[in-house]
Amino acid sequence: FTTESPGKPNSSRRVKRKPPIDKTEWDSFFDENGHLAKSRDFICVNILERGLHPTVRTEAWKFLTGYYSWQSSQDERLTVDSTRRKNYEALCQMYQKIQPLLENLHRNFIETRNNITYDIKKLYDKDPLGNVLLDKKKLEKILLLSYVCNTQAEYQQGFHEMVMIFQLMLEHDHETFWLFQFFLQKTEHSCVINIGVGKNLDMLNTLIDFLDPVFAEHLKGKGAGAVPSLFPWFCLCFQRAFKTFDDVWRLWEVLLTGKPCRNFQVLVAYSMLQMVRPQVLQESMTGDDILLACNNLIDLDADELISAACIVYAELIQKDVPQSLKDFFL
Alpha-carbon distance of 148 to 99, in angstroms, equals 10
Q: What pLDDT score does 192 carry?
A: 82
Q: What pLDDT score does 15 carry?
A: 59
Q: Are residues 134 and 167 in the same domain?
A: yes
Q: What one-character DSSP code corresponds to residue 20?
A: P
* One-letter identity of residue 123: L
Structural domains of the chain, count: 3
How far is CA 36 from each of CA 29, 30, 46, 132, rounded to the nearest angstrom?
A: 6, 4, 15, 37
Tell me, yes or no, whether 8 lies in a domain: no
Alpha-carbon distance of 238 to 140, in angstroms, equals 22
Helix (H) or strand (E) holding 231: helix 231-235
The answer to whether 119 and 157 have CB atoms below 8 angstroms apart is yes
Tell me, yes or no, whether 323 lies in a domain: yes
Q: Are residues 100 and 208 in the same domain?
A: no
Lowest-confidence pick of 99-103, 220-224, 297-301: 99-103
Q: What pLDDT score does 300 carry?
A: 97
The answer to whether 139 and 120 have CB atoms below 8 angstroms apart is yes
Q: What pLDDT score does 125 carry?
A: 75
185, pLDDT greater than 70: yes
Structural domain ending residue among the three candidates 8, 37, 72: 72
Could you give phi then psi for residue 51, rounded to 5 degrees?
85, 180
Average pLDDT over residues 1-9: 42
Tell me, yes or no, whether 283 lies in a domain: yes
Q: What pLDDT score does 12 carry?
A: 41
- Which tens digit of pLDDT belongs to each residue from 119-153? 999 888 777 777 777 889 999 999 999 999 886 77
> Residue 230: which CATH number?
1.10.472.80
The answer to whether 120 and 152 have CB atoms below 8 angstroms apart is no
Q: Are residues 79 and 68 in the same domain?
A: no
Alpha-carbon distance of 271 to 248, in angstroms, equals 16
Output the average pLDDT for the chain: 91
Q: Are residues 90 and 43 in the same domain?
A: no
17, pLDDT greater than 80: no
Q: Are residues 325 and 196 in the same domain?
A: yes
Q: Are residues 177 and 229 in the same domain?
A: no
Radius of gyration of the chain (CA): 21
Alpha-carbon distance of 251 to 253, in angstroms, equals 6
Average pLDDT over residues 311-320: 95
Tell me the pLDDT band of 9, cut-offs 50, 70 and 90.
Answer: very low
Q: Are residues 65 and 103 in the same domain?
A: no
Q: Are residues 55 and 126 in the same domain?
A: no
Query: Which residues are within 8 A (CB) of 104 and not within 5 positions of it... i.e. 6 or more apart?
Result: none
- Which tens digit of pLDDT belongs to each residue from 215-274? 999 999 999 999 999 999 999 999 999 989 999 999 999 999 999 999 999 999 999 999
Q: What pLDDT score does 5 carry?
A: 42
Tell me the pLDDT band of 193, cut-offs 50, 70 and 90.
Answer: confident
> Residue 100: which CATH number?
1.10.8
Q: What pLDDT score does 29 carry?
A: 97
Q: What pLDDT score does 16 carry?
A: 66
Q: How open is the CA angle 172-195-92, to the nearest 5 degrees?
A: 30
Q: Which domain holds residue 126?
A: 74-187
Tell me the pLDDT band of 18, cut-offs 50, 70 and 90.
Answer: confident
Tell me the pLDDT band of 8, cut-offs 50, 70 and 90.
Answer: very low
7, pLDDT greater than 60: no
Q: Are residues 68 and 92 in the same domain?
A: no
Tell me, yes or no, whether 117 lies in a domain: yes
187, pLDDT greater than 60: yes
Structural domain ending residue among the three candidates 187, 219, 236: 187
Q: Are residues 229 and 263 in the same domain?
A: yes
Tell me, yes or no, whether 163 lies in a domain: yes
Tell me, yes or no, whether 304 lies in a domain: yes
Could you give phi then psi for residue 213, rounded to 5 degrees?
-60, -35
Structural domain ending residue among the three candidates 53, 72, 91: 72
Tell me the pLDDT band of 157, cut-offs 50, 70 and 90.
Answer: confident
Global pTM?
A: 0.91
CB atoms within 10 A of CB 84: 19
Tell me, yes or no, whether 299 lies in a domain: yes
Tell me, yes or no, whether 111 lies in a domain: yes
Q: What pLDDT score does 3 carry?
A: 39
